[in-house]
Amino acid sequence: MLDVYAPRPQPIGRRPVVVFFYGGSWNSGSRSGYAFVGRALAAKGFVVVIPDYRLVPTVRYPSFVEDGAAAVRWTEAHAAEFGGDPARLVLMGHSAGAYIAAMLAVDHRWLKDDRQAVRGFIGMAGPYDFAPFDVDASRAAFGGWPRPRDTQPITWAGTGDPPALLLVGADDTIVRPRNSEALGARLRAGGVSVDLRFYPKMGHVGLLLALARPFRSRAPVLEDVTSFVRKVK
């Protein structure tokens, strides 16, 4: 299941499309809790798709990545119905959702030829380099997979990947900022354009909440996301 948010009134011409994956340690969350993200970005002129995905303990890796890939394929097939450009997709996520978006953006196994439509990746406080699995949530989601490094976005990141905007709360103690620093360095080494932004006095959840109207004055997160998506070609 997924929700679509479209600009109103519908602008002339096809608009960039943002597929947003919410976080929740791969074991919690629902698209209904993130309508504020869809509304905020649709108000900037983008078509926004927010899908659900199967959660731990019902499933483990790679099921939630497979669900994300299915949502991207659906979006590519149906974006034009909502005024979106199916050739200009931006994958965006927060926390565990940033992990899903990253895997789809950098690991060709999931989208194959459909990855050509992915023109940008926005990661908010994402875990990209966290093997071995030393916390309960990651063990529950990934433990037992025979090749742990294959589950990590940083393993696959490099030449040919889409431009990336990596957003980090400088005071995040849940997903350490080193994840974004490491991914950014790997992408840059492959010649990929990377914009890595740190927001002072911002934590893990506060980074996402800065997209909501009551909290936008705390950090220019919405402005930075909007600027990045508008540059997608």
Q: Kindly report the number of other CB atoms within 10 A of residue 118's CB atom.
A: 23
- 35: Cα separation from own chain's centroid: 15
The two counts, helices (H) then strands (E), for the chain are: 9, 7
Domain-wise residue ranges, the chain: 2-230
Peptide bond into 9 cis (omega under 30): yes
pTM (two decimals) = 0.97
Burial readout 167-183 (b: 16 or more C-beta within 10 A, e: otherwise): bbbeebeebbbebbbbb
> By C-alpha distance, which of 133, 130, 192, 126 is closest to 155?
130
Q: What is the pLDDT of residues 191-207, one digit of tens each?
A: 999 999 999 999 999 99
| pLDDT single digits (tens) 76-135 | 999 999 999 999 999 999 999 999 999 999 999 999 888 899 999 999 999 999 999 999
Query: Could you give the angle at which helices 63-78 and 96-106 cross, rounded to 10 degrees?
Result: 70
Structure tokens at 3: 């929700």
pLDDT band at 233 (very low <50, low <70, confident <90, very high): confident
If you ran DSSP here, which 8-state letter would residue 20 be given?
E
What are 204-215's pLDDT values in tens digits?
Answer: 999 999 999 999
Q: How far apart are CA 207 and CA 218, in angstroms?
A: 9
pLDDT at 26: 98
Nearest to 49 by CA among 100, 12, 91: 91
Cα–Cα distance measured from residue 91 to residue 21, given in angstroms and rounded to the nearest whole number: 8
What local confidence, expressed as pLDDT, does residue 8 receive? 87
Residue 217, Cβ density class (10 Å: 0-12 exposed, 13-18 middle, ≥19 buried): exposed
**What mean pLDDT comes out for the span 130-158?**
96
- What's the token pair of residue 42? 């649709």
CATH code given to domain 2-230: 3.40.50.1820
Whether pLDDT at 160 is above 90: yes
> Which band of pLDDT confidence, cut at 50, 70 and 90, is reported for residue 24?
very high
* C-alpha–C-alpha distance, residues 60 and 140, integer Å: 7
The overall average pLDDT reported for the chain is 97
Position 65: which residue type? V
Q: 148 preceded by cis ω (within 30°)?
A: no
